[in-house]
Chains A and B, each alone.
Chain A
Amino acid sequence: DTGVSQDPRHKITKRGQNVTFRCDPISEHNRLYWYRQTLGQGPEFLTYFQNEAQLEKSRLLSDRFSAERPKGSFSTLEIQRTEQGDSAMYLCASSLGTPNLQYFGPGTRLTVT
């Protein structure tokens, strides 16, 4: 197991298009998190899953954003009708039980033109 993986690593899209990102957590990690990071900022929490249940959502997660983890393994994050303000690095992390040690993936860099 090489850690958390994310696909794609880079995505350029035009404003108004929909995009979907995938995250594969470390095997058997029951918790999966999505964060967003913009230039000059630290990661900001978006949402978190325990197994397939989405348990926390940030106010940053507007109704254009939707995340799923259908079988409690990989997760997808979809952004509909992208806006230029959505341009950011989208990070995924996973953890198992306690303590809350989160392992991060390499991120997907989204550029909306």
Chain B
Amino acid sequence: AQRVTQPEKLLSVFKGAPVELKCNYSYSGSPELFWYVQYSRQRLQLLLRHISRESIKGFTADLNKGETSFHLKKPFAQEEDSAMYYCALSVGAGSYQLTFGKGTKLSVIP
């Protein structure tokens, strides 16, 4: 079965510092990877997905199939980036369920 691992429960960085939220997955096929974000008292929302290779709110993520990783990066953290971040995986092939990691809480210190 597929699994998503986010090794850090909490990550604290200073404003303006680079951010990297780690995500590793286990799945033998070619999954689709997503990052979701949940700001305080808001619903879970899609941040970005690997297929689109886009940058959202300054965040990027590259799928590394050799290392089975999909780390989320931002060069300069902002206070408004403080939130809970979840990495998720979809195996496709007719299955649409998402498998989530446990999440990493990002705290940006002013």
Q: Which residues from chain A sit less than 8 Å from chain B, CB to CB?
A: 3-4, 31, 33, 35, 40-45, 48, 56, 58, 91, 95, 99-107
Contact = CB atoms under 8 A, between A and B. Distances in A.
A45 B49 contact: no
Given A56-B97, A95-B96, A100 B102 contact: no
Contacts of B17: none
A95 B98 CA distance: 12
19 contacts: A4-B43, A40-B102, A43-B44, A43-B98, A44-B100, A48-B96, A48-B97, A56-B97, A58-B97, A91-B44, A99-B32, A99-B49, A99-B51, A100-B90, A100-B98, A103-B46, A104-B44, A105-B43, A106-B43
A109 to B, nearest CB: 12
Given A99-B32, A104-B45, 12 more contacts: A3-B43, A31-B96, A40-B102, A43-B100, A45-B97, A45-B98, A48-B97, A99-B49, A100-B92, A101-B46, A102-B46, A104-B36
A56 B44 contact: no
Interface of A is mostly: loop
A98 B86 CA distance: 21
B40 interface: no
B99 interface: yes
Nearest to B38: A104
Nearest to B46: A101
B65 to A, nearest CB: 19
A68 B88 CA distance: 25
Contacts of A99: 32, 49, 51
Given A95-B96, A104-B43, A42 B49 contact: no
Given A42-B86, A107-B43, A101 B49 contact: yes
Contacts of A48: 96-97
Given A31-B96, A40-B102, A42-B103, A100 B32 contact: yes
A99 B90 CA distance: 11
B6 to A, nearest CB: 8
B63 to A, nearest CB: 14
B64 interface: no
